[in-house]
Structure 1
Amino acid sequence: MKTSNPVLSRLGQAAERERAAGYGPYGPPAGQPGYGQPYPTATGYPASPPAVQPMTIDDVVVKTVTLLGLTGVSAVAAWNLIPGSLAGPAFVGAAIVGMILGFVISFSRMANPALVITYAVIEGVFVGMASKFFAVVAGQQGIILQAVVATFGVFFVMAMLYRARVIRATPKFTRGLIAVMSGLFAVMLINLVLSLFGVSTGLRDNGAIGIIFSLVCIVVASLSFILSFNEIEEGVRMGLPQRYSWTAAFGILVSLVWLYIEILRLLSFLQGDD
C-alpha cells in the first residue's frame, strides 16, 4: 500500500497496525489461546472471524453531509445567540480553537470522530460570526447567499474536473500544492500577528493587494479539493477502516470553510467598491 501522499501513508500504516493487532483469518492473533483454530459457534461449525469494515465513497458522503449539517446548525445558532458585544471574542476564540483542533486531527495517526465533530461545531461558530460581520456590521446582506452558492459551485466543478481526470493529484502536484498552502498559512499567520500590533500589510484590506491575495487563496482552496478527492479514492483502494471516512470528510470541510471565507471576503471587497 504505497502512495506518494504523506497523509495516506500515515493512515495506511495505522490501518495495517490495526489489522495486525486484530484477528487474522484463522482466529485470534499469534501467541493467544486458540491461535490457528477456526472460531467456534453454537452449532459447532466454524465461523468467519470478525473483520474491520473498509470505508466506502458512500461513507465519506454521509460523514461529509453530517459535518456540513453540524457546521450549518452551529453557524445559525452562533449568529442568533451570541450578542454583538461578544462577536469579536467568539470569532477569535473559534478561530484559535479550530486551528488547534485542525492540527491535532491532521497530525493524528488515528481517526477520531469525536474530535472531527467538535471541529465542525467550532467551525460553525467561526463561520457564523464571520458571516454576521459581513452581513450586519458591514451592511452587505446579499453576499452570504452568493458566497454559499459560489462555494458549492466551485466544489462541484472541481469534483467533475477530478472525475474527468482533467486535474490529477500527481506527486509533483501534491508536493507543490502542499508547499503553497503552507506558505499561504505562514503569510496569513504573520499578517494576523502584525495586525495585532497595528501594522497593516494590505493583504486583508479592500485594495488591489487584498483582492489579488484573496483570488490566490480562492484558487489554492479550490485546488485543495483535488487532494481530498485523491485521498478518498486512495483510502478506499487501500481498504482503510470505515471510521477513517471521518478524516476524509474533515479534509473536505476544511477546504469548504476556507473557500467560503475567502469568497465572502472577495465579494465584500468588490461590493465595497460600488
Structure 2
Amino acid sequence: MRSSNPVFSRRGFTRGNEYAGFGTGAQQGGDPYAQYSGGNPYAQQGAGAPYQQAGRNPYDQQQPMTPQQMEEAYAGPSAGPAETGRMTIDDVVMRTGITLGTVVVGVVLGWFALGDHVGIAYGAALVAFVLAIIQSFKRTPSPALIVGYAIFEGVFLGVLSRAYNEAWQGAPVQAVLGTMAVFAGMLIAYRARIIRVTARYQRIGMAIAIGFMFALVVNLLFAAFGAGNGLGLATGGLGIVFCLLGIGLGAFFLSLDFKQIEDGIRYGAPRNESWLAAFGLTLSLVWIYLELLRLIAILRD
C-alpha cells in the first residue's frame, strides 16, 4: 500500500512492496500486508544479519557458554523499545499529540490574530500543502516538515473556522465533536475487527477517493469559468450526499492509518516512522473536520 490519502503519498512508511525501506517478502493468502512479515529486518538470516557475525554474538560462538556466562546473560535486562529503536504505540500517541497540538496552536493564532485576513489563510494553506508534498517525496520522515505543516494548516483552519462560526454559530464546535466521534467509532470498529483492511477493501476505497477528487476538480473548474455554483456539490441535497461521501472517505483513510500503525509496530519499524503515522492521522482528521464543516453549513443554511 503506497498511501492512505489520494492527495499525499506517505513515502517512507509504506513504499511499494517494501515496509519502511526494509526487505520484501512474498504475499501470502491474498493479504497485501502479509508480505511485510517477510521483510522484518530483525528476522534476517545469513551473512547479512549483523548479529550473526563471528565474535559479535556470544550465542554464535563455537565454544559452548559456561554456566556462569548463561546466568549472567539471563540476569541482564531485556531489550526494550529504547534499546531496539523500534516504533511503539506510545511513540505514535506522543507524536500525534505533538502534531495535533501544533495544529491547535495554529488554529488559536488564526482565529484570534488573523481572523479577518482571508488572504493570509489561503497563503498558509498553500504553504501547508507544499510542506506536505515535500514530506511525501522524502524517503524518511522530517519532524520539522510535519510540524511546519501542522502550524500552517492550523492557521488556515483557524481563519476558516472563525468565518464559519460567524455565519453559522457553533459550527466549528459541532465539527470538532463530529470528528472525534468518527475517530472513536472507526478505532472501535477496527479494534473489534468489524472493519478489516483487505486488498479488495483498499482498492474499492481508493477508487471512490479518486472519483471524489476528480469531481472536486471538475466542480472547481465549472465554478471558476462561468457556473457560480459549479456542479452543485456545495449546496442542496447533492451537496449533503457529497459531504457524507467525503466523511466516509475520511473514515476510510483512518482505517488505513490504523492498519499502517499496527503493521509498523508488529514488524519492527524504526521509531522515527511514528512521525509518519502522526502525519497520516492528522491528514485524515483534518479531512473529516473540513467535510463536517461543509455539511453543517449546508444543513443550517
Distance across 2 between alignment mates of 1:168 and 1:203: 34
Residue in 2 aligned with 1:14? 21
Shift of 1:193: 3.8
The one-letter code matched in structure 1 to 2:206 is I
Which one of 161, 182, 186 corresponds to residue 158 of structure 1?
A: 186
The one-letter code matched in structure 2 to 1:6 is R
Alignment check: 8 A CA contact 1:67 1:120 kept: yes
Greater radius of gyration (CA): 2
The secondary structure found in structure 1 opposite 2:19 is helix
Provide closer, same or farther for how the CA distance between residues 112 and 141 of structure 1 changes in structure 2, counting only shifts above 3 A.
Answer: same
Distance across 1 between alignment mates of 2:295 and 2:121: 19
Residue in 2 aligned with 1:224? 253
Is the counterpart of residue 73 in structure 1 residue 99 in structure 2?
no
Distance across 2 between alignment mates of 1:91 and 1:186: 24
Aligned residues: 250
Provide closer, same or farther for how the CA distance between residues 128 and 115 of structure 1 changes in structure 2, counting only shifts above 3 A.
Answer: same
Residue in 2 aligned with 1:95? 125
Residue in 2 aligned with 1:60? 92
Is the counterpart of residue 244 in structure 1 residue 273 in structure 2?
yes
The secondary structure found in structure 2 opposite 1:152 is helix
Distance across 2 between alignment mates of 1:224 and 1:203: 25
Residue in 1 aligned with 2:208? 180
Alignment check: 8 A CA contact 1:203 1:213 kept: no
Distance across 2 between alignment mates of 1:125 and 1:23: 47
Residue in 1 aligned with 2:75? none
What's the TM-score, normalizing by structure 1? 0.81
The one-letter code matched in structure 1 to 2:244 is L
5+ residue gaps, structure 1: 27-34, 40-49
Shift of 1:82: 1.3
Q: CA RMSD in A?
A: 3.0
CA deviations on 1:39-79 (whole Å, 9 max, x unpaired) are: 9xxxxxxxxxx965010111111111111110011111111
CA deviations on 1:207-234 (whole Å, 9 max, x unpaired) are: 1221111111011111211100000001
Aligned residues with identical type, % of pairs: 36
Distance across 2 between alignment mates of 1:158 and 1:170: 16
Which one of 115, 122, 141 corresponds to residue 169 of structure 2?
A: 141
Residue in 2 aligned with 1:42? none
Alignment check: 8 A CA contact 1:202 1:210 kept: no
What's the TM-score, normalizing by structure 2? 0.74
Provide closer, same or farther for how the CA distance between residues 198 and 128 of structure 1 changes in structure 2, counting only shifts above 3 A.
Answer: farther
Distance across 2 between alignment mates of 1:150 and 1:220: 15
Distance across 2 between alignment mates of 1:126 and 1:134: 12
Distance across 1 between alignment mates of 2:157 and 2:207: 26
The secondary structure found in structure 2 opposite 1:14 is coil
The one-letter code matched in structure 1 to 2:210 is S
The secondary structure found in structure 2 opposite 1:25 is helix
Alignment check: 8 A CA contact 1:53 1:241 kept: yes
Residue in 1 aligned with 2:162? 132
Alignment check: 8 A CA contact 1:202 1:209 kept: no
The secondary structure found in structure 2 opposite 1:6 is coil
5+ residue gaps, structure 2: 4-12, 24-38, 58-81
The one-letter code matched in structure 1 to 2:189 is L
The one-letter code matched in structure 1 to 2:296 is L
**Which structure shows the higher helix fraction?**
1
Shift of 1:133: 1.4
Alignment check: 8 A CA contact 1:203 1:209 kept: yes
Shift of 1:162: 0.2
The one-letter code matched in structure 2 to 1:170 is T
Shift of 1:197: 3.1
Distance across 2 between alignment mates of 1:54 and 1:203: 48
